[in-house]
Amino acid sequence: MDSAELLQRESFVEKNARQRVQYLLDAASLRELLDPFERLSSPWLPLQDIVTQADDGVVIARGTIDGVAVVVAAIEPAFQGGSMGEVGGAKIAGALELALEDARASKPVVPVLLLETGSVRLQEANCGLAAIAEIHAAIVALRQHVPVVGVISGPVGCFGGMSIAAGLCSTLIATREARLGLNGPQVIEQEAGVDEFDSRDRPMIWSLTGGAQRHATHLVDTLCDDDSADIRTAIAGAVARPVGNLARTQAVDAHLERLRALDTGRRADAEWAREVMAEEIHGSGEGS
Amino acid sequence: MSTQEQGSRGAAWLAALTDNASRAAGFPDSVQVVDGSMGEHSARYIAVVPDADNAYPRARGGEVGLVEGWALAQAVRQVVSADADADAGAAQKRAIVAVIDVPSQAYGRSEEAFGIHQALAAAAEAYATAREAGHPVLGLIVGKAMSGAFLAHGYQANRLIALDDAGVQVHAMGKQAAARITQRTVEGVEQLAETITPMAYDIASFDTLGLLFARVSVADADRPSDEDLDRIRQTLERALADIGQDVSLASRLDADGRAASVKVRERLRAQWNGD
């Protein structure tokens, strides 16, 4: 690729949550729900002398993508690391629950989740965790009716309970800049020691949890460049896809067989992970 | 059985609730599965327990790791597919009881490399699918219910019950790591936990959020007495009856405990259709 082409690209990673939503939805179709003027901010942060944000870092909007009715939930990476507090968590869970009601009433609305989150906001710990469980429940129930599309573009990545939510999405889209993992590097280093996981070793971290590796190990379905047009095209394809079983969680026996036979004394690296997580370990997403 | 395992509350309550019945075969030592009963109903009891010989070093203390996540999914999915043709409801679909004593998910390099988030997603999906299919799913918290481990094992239950005991804790992260991530001291985290309800680790504070069906006092949370066992069995049966046809998690939304969660949903509903 030449520099002219790079210069023409419109970065998605650099957009904030609201700009991302505006970019993705069909022109004039966007209707934001619980916008900042509703002033639904965290009840818990002021008690800890932490500045709140009037949308609690989550943008919910209804509209269409290439004519398909969607509800987009976009997490703002720049507010508290995209963490899930009570209000932001309830906005996502509540939107998914309403989409489920509509889907059951034959009014399908496809959820698109822009996952940009270090997961639970520790200042609201148990409220965030409860909301994430509710998000998981809604995604699983929704998938009977509509696809649920997850996007991890970066820069924050997607961790903790929200990485589980990502793992539940019908289609998961990521860029190379994104990371996807259960435990953040600092937490692993804190719990298991620097020899196990050096949180400053960025090449190692991206080699194991970066978008390209997650795509190569079939934990991400579509790998995009940080190009807004590419990402929108991938999302538009995913929202129009028919519902089916989630391939990533079908092959329970195959995963157990392989993981129980693994040489756990060996230090994991990217190449070995690609061998272990090869295509045949994952199930078929066809049918119901 | 190792000494560690004998000290596991999860193992102790699983054995007690199932009258020491033999475990279902085919599961790793760290995931104990027993088919038993709950009053007149059939039930599958599942616990994640410590295993000092676990091949994965980071999952030896009862943490939910790669193998545990997929094994939980297998244990639950077996029940769902075996009862697929039965009518919904407690009388037809077997109950599933997650006996919860999980200190955390497994933190390690192999765990991340081989997709522990997907293993936990498989477990959470299995429990949620069982609930949606009409299996009464109950979560009994007898020890720690932490973070991703709890999300994978128990947080998808229709009803949550907890022992009222100092060793019972629910949280998103251990104190040391939480202090590091929020750039506070451990003392600072502990101090805030005293006034900010969702930051607390104790089960009484958690109960005020309205997420529990019941909090039950027992004489000995480590070694359940016959009386303790009776009380818990009665509570489980009461929860089973309370579930009825409810396959959702709506009973957790308490207007006092999580006022903002309820308010957000009300306002969202009012704006949903834009008319």
pLDDT tens across B111-161, in order? 999 999 999 999 999 999 999 999 999 999 999 999 999 999 999 999 999
The secondary structure element, H or E, covering residue B142 is: strand B137-146
pLDDT digits (tens, 9 = 90+) for A251-284: 999 999 999 999 999 999 999 999 999 998 998 7
Looking at residue A18, what is its pLDDT?
Answer: 98
pLDDT digits (tens, 9 = 90+) for A87-143: 999 999 999 999 999 999 999 999 999 999 999 999 999 999 999 999 999 999 999
Whole-angstrom distance, CA of residue B97 vs CA of residue B47? 9
Whole-angstrom distance, CA of residue B256 vs CA of residue A162? 26
How far away is chain A from the Cα of B90, in angstroms, using its nearest Cα? 20
Looking at residue B243, what is its pLDDT?
Answer: 96
In sequence order, the β-bridge partners of residue A223 are A174
Q: B14 falls in which pLDDT band (50, 70, 90)?
A: very high
The closest of B68, B80, B125 to A169, measured between CA atoms, is B125
Whether cis (ω within 30° of 0) applies to the bond prior to A147 is no
Q: Among residues of chain B, what percentage have pLDDT more than 90?
A: 86
CA distances from B255 to A136, A279, B65, B193, B213 (A): 21, 47, 35, 21, 15
Question: Looking at beta carbons, which residues of chain B come within 8 Å of A60?
Answer: 268
Residue of B nearest to A32 (CA): B271
Burial of A11: CB neighbours in 10 Å, binned 0-12, 13-18, 19+: middle
Q: Are strands B31-38 and B41-48 parallel, antiparallel or unpaired?
A: antiparallel
Ramachandran angles phi, psi of A151, nearest 5°? -130, 125
Looking at residue A1, what is its pLDDT?
Answer: 63
The length of chain A in residues reads 288
Look at B198 and A44 and tell me if their CB atoms are within 8 Å: yes
User: Tell me: domain B3-248, CATH 3.90.226.10, correct?
Assistant: yes
Among candidates A34, A141, A186 on the partner chain, residue whose Cβ is nearest the Cβ of B180: A186
pLDDT digits (tens, 9 = 90+) for A235-254: 999 999 999 889 999 999 99
Q: Among residues of chain B, what percentage have pLDDT more than 70?
A: 96
Sort residue A125 into left (φ over 0), alpha (ψ -120 to 50) or beta. Answer: alpha
Whole-angstrom distance, CA of residue A83 vs CA of residue A104? 30
Question: Looking at beta carbons, which residues of chain B come within 8 Å of A125?
Answer: 171-173, 178, 198-199
Whole-angstrom distance, CA of residue A145 vs CA of residue A148? 9
Look at A126 and B258 and tell me if their CB atoms are within 8 Å: no
Whole-angstrom distance, CA of residue B12 vs CA of residue B224? 8
Structural contact between residues A95 and A138, judged by C-beta atoms closer than 8 angstroms = no
Among candidates B124, B129, B274 on the partner chain, residue whose Cβ is nearest the Cβ of A164: B124
Whole-angstrom distance, CA of residue B104 vs CA of residue B151? 10
Q: A288 falls in which pLDDT band (50, 70, 90)?
A: very low
Question: Looking at beta carbons, which residues of chain B come within 8 Å of A40?
Answer: 260, 263-264, 267
SS3 B56: coil
Look at B268 and A264 and tell me if their CB atoms are within 8 Å: no
SS3 A111: strand
How far away is chain A from the Cα of B116, in angstroms, using its nearest Cα? 6
Among candidates B70, B109, B152 on the partner chain, residue whose Cβ is nearest the Cβ of A268: B109
Question: Looking at beta carbons, which residues of chain B come within 8 Å of A180?
Answer: 117
The alpha-helical segments, DSSP class H, found in B166-245 are 175-181, 186-195, 203-208, 226-243
Whole-angstrom distance, CA of residue B32 vs CA of residue B54? 14
To the nearest whole number, what is the mean pLDDT of chain B? 94
Look at A191 and B104 and tell me if their CB atoms are within 8 Å: yes
Ramachandran angles phi, psi of B101, nearest 5°? -155, 75
In sequence order, the β-bridge partners of residue A112 are A72, A149
How far away is chain A from the Cα of B132, in angstroms, using its nearest Cα? 7
Helices A125-142 and B116-132 pack at an angle, to 10 degrees, of 70
Structural contact between residues A180 and A157, judged by C-beta atoms closer than 8 angstroms = yes
Among A92, A122, A214, most B C-beta atoms within 10 A, so best to mutate, is A122
Domain architecture of chain A: domains with CATH: 8-243 (3.90.226.10)
How far away is chain B from the Cα of A104, in angstroms, using its nearest Cα? 13
Q: B3 falls in which pLDDT band (50, 70, 90)?
A: very low
How big is the CA angle at B178 (ends B177 and B184), to the nearest 5 degrees? Answer: 105
Structure tokens at B267: 């306002």
Q: B2 falls in which pLDDT band (50, 70, 90)?
A: very low
Look at A125 and B58 and tell me if their CB atoms are within 8 Å: no
Beta-strand runs (E) in chain A: 31-33, 58-65, 68-75, 110-114, 149-152, 171-175, 222-224
Report domain extents, chain B. 3-248
Please name the residues in contact with B32: beta carbons below 8 A apart, sequence gap of 6 or more: B10, B11, B14, B23, B46, B47, B48, B49
Look at A164 and B261 and tell me if their CB atoms are within 8 Å: no
Look at A120 and B110 and tell me if their CB atoms are within 8 Å: no
The length of chain B in residues reads 275
